[in-house]
Structure 1
Amino acid sequence: MKVKYIGEISHPLELINGKVYERLGEEGPFYRVIDETDEDYLYPKEEFIVVED
């Protein structure tokens, strides 16, 4: 699944506002996303919109 980051904090070493990321899974109120470090981390769901299932 692809998700677009719409959060308020944009950091080039973590997430960039408006960029589409690969979502690996869901854990409670979080998405597991591969960020700019090429590692997967948990980020709040409300900071993303789904762009592709």
Structure 2
Amino acid sequence: MLKIKYIGETDFLVLTHNIIYDVISIEKEWYRIIDDSGEDYLYPPELFEIVES
């Protein structure tokens, strides 16, 4: 499973800086993850650093 670290600024209940998220799927080169709201959404890869593939 691909693990990615959010490198952007913390956005309350969305994404937290330096937190590692599991990628559920990759769709049209964007990462689908479960964010801090508990829902799954697509995010662009430039917001993340791959920590484990």
Q: What is the TM-score of this pair, normalised by structure 2?
A: 0.85
How many aligned positions are there?
52
* Counterpart position of 1:3: 4
- Stretches of structure 2 that go unaligned for 5 or more consecutive residues are none
- Alignment RMSD (CA, Å): 1.1
- Displacement of 1:29 after TM fit? 3.4
Q: TM-score, normalised by structure 1?
A: 0.85
Gaps of 5+ in 1: none
Instruction: State the 4+ residue runs in structure 1 displaced beyond 3 angstroms.
Output: none
- Percent identity reads 44
